[in-house]
Amino acid sequence: MDDFLRLSADTARFTYGAPRAFSFGDGGRLLWFLRSDGPTDAFDSLWVLDTTTGAATRLADPRELCPQPGPLPATERRLRERIRLVAAGIGSYALSGDGLRAVFALYGRLYEVSASGAGEPKEIPAAGPAFDPRPNADGSRTAYVSDDTLYVAPGGRVSPDDGARWGVAEFAAAEELDRARGHWWSPDGNTLLAARVDESALQRRYFTDPAHPEIPGEDVAYPEAGGPNADVQLWVVDAATGDRIRVDWDAGSYPYVSDAGWESETEILLTVQDRLQQNVLLLSADPATGRTRELSRTTHPQWVDPMLPGTPARLPDGRMLTSADTPPATTGGAPTGGAARALAVDGKLLTGDDVQVRRVIGIHEGSLLIEAALRDPSEQQVLLLDPATGERTALADGPGVHSALASAGTLLLTSADAGGYRRTVRTPDGREFAPADLSEPLPYRVAPVLERVTEHGVPTALVLPRGHVPGRRLPVLMDSYGGPGMQDVSAEPRRWQARQWWADQGFAVVTVDNRGTAYVSPAHTHAMYRGFSDVTLEDQVAALRALGARHPDLDLGRVGIRGWSYGGYLSALAVLRRPDVFHAAAAGAAPTDFRQYDTAYTERYLGLPQEHPEVYERDSLLADAPALTRPLLLTTGLADDNVHPSHTLRLSQALTDAGRPHRLLALPGVTHMTPGGTREKLMALELEFFREVLV
């Protein structure tokens, strides 16, 4: 690896040393966060910043608590994959209701610590390797999971021995529905709302390490498209007695629980979805009886876009806040879909076509605090939105990507642009602090050429070699994700570092957010409904040709394409179906047949395979194997529990059966996240491949 790749690997892509996982406590007086000691230190410690003084104190150092780190419990290791957490040490923490105490698990051991900093973290005796500890309101008791059983300390086991998993989020919730937890304390700290997950109907997927045949393999329950999902129930559990009351809703019609929690001691709010995610219900549950009633319903004929966190929700005045699309525009009398992702209060639109709402953070100074795009989809602003009038006030409005967190009038603003990252804490009395960032400065200041092209206004980005001399023709490297739920063309600076490196190797690097990707508009996102391959490939080709016409230095006779996950699918798809446009591909962790991918993701976009077999057949790559005429490098991690290695191996087998030469990298022990510098090592191998077959 060269200097850039080595630095990227050593710094976890320039993230080590950056503060993360912020939480406010004690009415905004305390700001808790995790951070390591520098740009090559992987081990996150727990810190707290006192906003009355600006002083930051380290409360827990994982190397002092566990000088000899042990293995992570399997449940935590898999959850870290779900939430894409690469840091070591303290992966997460949870605060007591008053925000004065935190608990965390460290290699299966359980600890609590006070914000006062008086005394070392105290280890809490646990029944076994502890996972996802949560303190109650005053910190007097901690709930945690061990071996899929829910415990309370002090106390003991509170879930029954009934063969189910208790207190955890199932695969679909953690990977696709943005719910990574499975138990919640009541405000009075005496009762738990707990998920019961029965995965007995699911098929098992198996993983072995061929490099170590003496080590037994692992298996996980996997919800495959068209097959059974986990049976998820919610129970109200008395922490002292273990007495239980089941929360009752039509789980047969609405099997997905995407959010849950206590609104008060007498009310639980939960958000449930039907299997195709066309109907999302906010329900109120009575913890004393388990009975529920519907508060709001959000519907969409294709799917309710899951990329709007913070909705549905009840406002302080009792009105209901939901997501909505602005009315569709029409072209030639035909509807083209909504122009903007919007907010509605009691069904009445609060925002219009000029605001693309992305997240509702909460209430700040009596208004809704939101993240939204006002100008270009590559940017994001932080706004205050009056829930009565819709009037907007910008809190962070400069070029770049801005985000926020707030509590009791104290605000944390994070801004990212080509110059890097800035985090500012603002107190109600006007003081400002900046939590120290010890991460490696970004090597490149990248200003990609951003353009909207084709009749669909597809966002694109072009990165050229530094010092490029106009008139010098460059081979093109397409580097896109292309799938739903993701945005590549963004002003967030870290994502351009590797692309600038690729450009400096002698490529014009092109990134395209084809229709189906997130954050442009509902119409743009929903264009992928009932089909991935056609829309994805059509837009990538059209955008490439449009950029080639605008930038004559792009040599469209030498086009390579690379990607990972859906981007790997796009790369393999490109050379299999459009060899006239794409001349070589490196496809990593590609879901080659979506009949073998998970339910919540796949069915949202493609429907049930039993009802739409032609859609799944059209989007599968296996039948295209005999058509391969271009160089193709396939890569898979043999420990990938998201896109199982069988996807890549089945395509390789089909290519072999058809007599089509290709290259295969099967990486023992490597997961979907490609940790520990694996991604950078693969980049070096891909560069060698493209130089051989393309340049």
User: What pLDDT digit, counting tens, does each position of 552-601 carry?
Assistant: 999 999 999 999 999 999 999 999 999 999 999 999 999 999 999 999 99
Angle CA 566–570–573, to nearest 5: 135
- Please give the residue range of the domain that contains residue 115: 17-157
Look at 209 and 153; give whichever has higher pLDDT. Answer: 153
Query: Could you read off the pLDDT of 46-59 as tens digits, one per residue?
Result: 999 999 999 999 99
Average pLDDT over residues 689-695: 94
Same domain, yes or no: 263 and 148: no
The string of pLDDT tens digits covering residues 561-570 is 999 999 999 9
Of all residues in the chain, what percent carry a pLDDT higher than 70?
Answer: 99
Q: State residue 335's pLDDT score.
A: 41
Q: So what's the pLDDT on residue 511?
A: 98
Supply the pLDDT for residue 337: 59
Q: Do both 591 and 628 map to the same domain? A: yes
Do 540 and 687 belong together in one domain?
A: yes
Phi first, then psi: what are they for 111, rounded to 5°?
-135, 155
Q: Are residues 263 and 351 part of one domain?
A: no
For residues 324 and 304, the answer to whether their CB atoms sit within 8 Å is: no
* pLDDT score at 578: 98
Q: Is residue 290 part of a domain?
A: yes
Are 457 and 400 within one domain? no
Q: What is the C-alpha separation between 91 and 365, in angstroms, rounded? A: 32
Look at residues 407, 437, 463 and tell me which one is the last residue of a structural domain. 407
Residue 496 resides in a domain = yes
304 within 8 A of 298, measured Cβ to Cβ = yes
Q: Locate tokens 């900093």: which residue?
A: 117
What is the count of structural domains for the chain? Answer: 4
On the question of pLDDT at 331 being above 50, the answer is no
> What CA–CA distances, in Å, run from 536 to 58, 139, 565, 635?
47, 50, 14, 21
377, 407, 437 — which closes off a domain?
407
Per the prediction, the chain carries an average pLDDT of: 95
Q: Are residues 549 and 608 in the same domain?
A: yes
Average pLDDT over residues 644-659: 98
Give yes or no for residue 157 having a pLDDT over 90.
yes
Q: What is the pLDDT of residue 334?
A: 39
Cα–Cα distance between 145 and 143 in angstroms, integer?
7
Give DSSP secondary structure letters for 32-71: EEEE-SSTT--EEEEEEEETTT--EEEEE-HHHH-SS--P
The pLDDT, as a whole number, for residue 267 is 97
Say which CATH number the domain at 592 has. Answer: 3.40.50.1820
Is residue 172 included in any domain, yes or no?
no
pLDDT per residue as tens digits for the range 263-284: 999 999 999 999 999 999 999 9
DSSP 571-630: HHHHHHH-TTT--EEEEES----GGGSBHHHHHHHH--TTT-HHHHHHH-SGGGGGG--S
Q: Which residues 6+ apart lie within 8 Å of 443 measured at CB?
A: 4, 7, 497
Please tell me which residue, 499 or 119, carries the higher pLDDT value. 499
Task: Give the span between the Cα atoms of 350 and 364, in whole angstroms.
Answer: 17
Q: How far apart are CA 512 and CA 524, in angstroms?
A: 13
The pLDDT of residue 231: 98
Residue at 434 is within a domain = no
* 652/564 same-domain check: yes
Say if residue 556 is in the same domain as residue 653: yes
Mean pLDDT of 314-329: 89
Residue 634 pLDDT level (bands cut at 50, 70, 90): very high
Residues 56 and 60: their CA atoms lie apart, in Å, by 12
258 in the same domain as 150 = no
E-state strands within 454-550: 458-463, 474-479, 508-512
CA 96 to chain centre: 25
**Contact criterion met (CB below 8 Å) for 258 and 249:** no
| pTM metric for this prediction | 0.95
Domain shared by 190 and 85, yes or no: no
**pLDDT, tens digit, 9 for 90 and up, residues 440-460:** 999 999 999 999 999 999 999
For residue 329, what pLDDT band results from cuts at 50, 70 and 90?
low
Q: What is the pLDDT of residue 618?
A: 98
Given a cut of 60, whether residue 549 has pLDDT beyond it is yes
Q: Are residues 113 and 129 located together in one domain of the fold? A: yes
Highest average pLDDT, of 60-74, 198-212, 318-332, 598-612, comes from 598-612
Instruction: State the pairing for strand pair 508-512/458-463.
Output: antiparallel
pLDDT of the residue at 319: 95
What's the confidence (pLDDT) of residue 1?
Answer: 87
Residues 103 and 229 in one domain: no
